[in-house]
Copies of this chain bind each other. A is one copy, B any other.
Amino acid sequence: MTDRNRLIYLPLGGAGEIGMNCYVYGYGPADQERLIVVDLGVAFPDMDGQPGVDLILPDVAWLEARRDRIEAIFITHAHEDHVGAVGHLWGRLRAPVHCRPFTALHAIRKMEEAGHSTDHVKTAPVWPGKVEAGPFTVQFAPVSHSIPEASALVIDTPAGRIVHSGDFKIDRDPVVGEPFDPELWAQIGQDGVLGYVCDSTNVFTRTPGRSESQLPAPIGELVAGAKGMVVATTFASNIARLKTLAEAAVANGRSVCLMGRAMKRMVTAGEESGVLRGFPRTLSPEEASEVPRENLMLIVTGSQGERRAASAALSRGSYLGLEMKEGDMFLFSSKTIPGNEVAVARIKNALAEKGVDVIDDSHGFYHVSGHANRPDLEAMHDILRPRILIPNHGEYRHLREHAQLALSKGMTGIVAANGSMVELSGNAPRIVEFIEVSKTYLDGAAFVGALDGVIRDRMKLALNGLVAVALIVDEDDVLLEDSWVALRGLPETAGNGADLAEMIEDELAEAMPRFDGKTVNDDDRLEEAVRRVVRNLCLTEIGKKPEVTVLISRLMAA
């Protein structure tokens, strides 16, 4: 440890995965740095990896232990993977939360839901306005993305300027919100950028990015050709897209109905914050059900196949009095996020069964990405000409590819996955420490560590099924021959048609009298002995070794 001040960067989430963004910057003497946090996002669980979990949050144990050193939290934009954990984690960090007005509406709601005072959310000015936070001066520089008021952070420190890209694309005509401003970015870069921490999502996409403004024409044509009801889905937060869809409806004599809580909330937030103007008047579902179907467009949630969203509900049957029929059209104005393919296909197939024409973006007409493709990443590198490029917002392969790209262009590219603390100051920027970071699962109301074993145990139950066995050891330490067995997630009968639970009880009745006293008197030994009998029998009878839970009731002399 020295007294020398250093500038550090530490990703706690979002580097090595897409989602759950949380980054830390620090400045000061080693282990005494003053800290700022950029983004507190969530990731979404799936049956495959986190069954039953409600949300995945970054593991902020490192930050919590240094809470007194946190100057502020900055949120780049209102997507859930950037703002979603603010309510759940604020109580452990307790620093002011700075964000622009549209984002603030979301952060405030999350603080309210978690029972925290909304006073901690501070509305930040846009560039050239400044937020001072200890040794950091932070400016919100507008970028285009797929949500209003997305921002990069220009972070000035005594060691130099850092640009944290946030999620961004280069869009000169984003339909809603601020277009890409080359002069602004030239200005940000002109005095030298020490480090550029940069979105890597689309680093493998070699074609130039496309503008949101390329969509109104093809979507308008599509709607013009539709005969029955039109239903369109996209991310609710993509307010520009909602506008494009709604305007295509109105231009073709259709009224618009928004379905799904997030849809209405986003349009309201857009109007309240002033970023959205002139959105067509919308109908309630009750009103919509009175409108002839050829004069109606529903804009609905659930573009990723979420089971409880409006899209899925409409694919299964009627929803709030509205039902899709032969000759209607359903438009996915969206990309399917990897992992959601099967859920989305389920909806497409259910709609096809109803005779609905399903249109998706497989031909590239009805959706554009919100992230910069490789040529646009290169354009930003060329404008900012940072000394160091640190890729973030990507899986490991994206980070590596982006760092290699930086190297090939003469920058120092550093692959820093979650937990890698990078020192940016000094002559040789490099990883100086690895912090153990896990993930935190929100499971009902409980926080469960990803490595606690709780979820692994659930997966074992799902893979193997469970045999629960109750045994009684009487007052004289005698193990009763009778056991009680219940099966969960296992076939009731063995191959020969016999009742499996009874077979297990019989097998135990035969085996248990042979257990010695040492086994009977020790819970662990007895459990293990019973488990072995049950698993072996099941392997023989159903070809599978189940999980076994043994409940031993030891009766006490009265």
Contact = CB atoms under 8 A, between A and B. Distances in A.
A452 B491 contact: yes
A484 B552 contact: yes
B465 A468 contact: no
Contacts of A451: none
Contacts of A489: 52, 454-455, 457-458, 460-461
A495 B446 contact: yes
Given A454-B490, A489-B455, A544 B47 contact: no
- Point out which of A348, A457, A461 has the most chain B C-beta atoms below 10 A from its C-beta: A461
A443 B547 contact: no
A496 to B, nearest CB: 11
Interface in A461-485: 461-466, 468-470, 472, 482, 484-485
Nearest to A340: B341
A46 interface: yes
Interface stretch (A5-13, A125-133, A395-403): A395-403
A549 interface: yes
A284 interface: no
Contact of A468 (B341, B452, B468, B472): B468
Contact of A454 (B51, B358, B491): B491
A445 interface: yes
A528 to B, nearest CB: 14
B458 A459 contact: no
Contacts of A399: 352
Contacts of A459: 47, 51, 462
A432 interface: no
Contacts of A466: 461, 466, 488, 549
Interface string A514-558: 000000000000000000000000010011100101111101000
B52 A468 contact: no
A553 B349 contact: no
Interface in A358-393: 358, 362-363
Q: For A399, A457, A472, A555, which residue has the most chain B Cβ atoms within 10 angstroms?
A: A457
B396 A352 contact: yes
Interface residues of A, number: 74
Nearest to A441: B491
Interface string A248-266: 0000000000000000000
A325 to B, nearest CB: 14
A15 B357 CA distance: 19
Contact of A397 (B341, B349, B458, B547): B349
A52 B465 contact: yes
A342 interface: yes
A494 B447 CA distance: 10
A444 interface: yes
Contact of A396 (B349, B543, B550): B349
Nearest to A463: B52
A204 interface: yes
Contacts of A470: 470, 484, 551, 553
17 contacts: A47-B459, A47-B463, A52-B462, A338-B341, A338-B342, A339-B341, A349-B395, A352-B400, A444-B542, A452-B491, A458-B463, A462-B462, A469-B551, A472-B472, A485-B551, A486-B550, A488-B549
Given A443-B491, A457-B489, A460-B489, 15 more contacts: A46-B48, A52-B544, A353-B396, A353-B400, A358-B397, A444-B542, A446-B494, A454-B489, A458-B489, A461-B461, A461-B465, A466-B466, A484-B551, A484-B553, A486-B551
4 closest A-B pairs by CB: A445-B543, A444-B544, A444-B543, A458-B489
Interface of A: 16, 46-49, 51-52, 204, 206, 338-339, 341-342, 345, 348-353, 355, 358, 362-363, 395-397, 399-401, 417, 443-446, 448, 452, 454-455, 457-466, 468-470, 472, 482, 484-486, 488-491, 494-495, 539, 542-544, 547, 549-553, 555
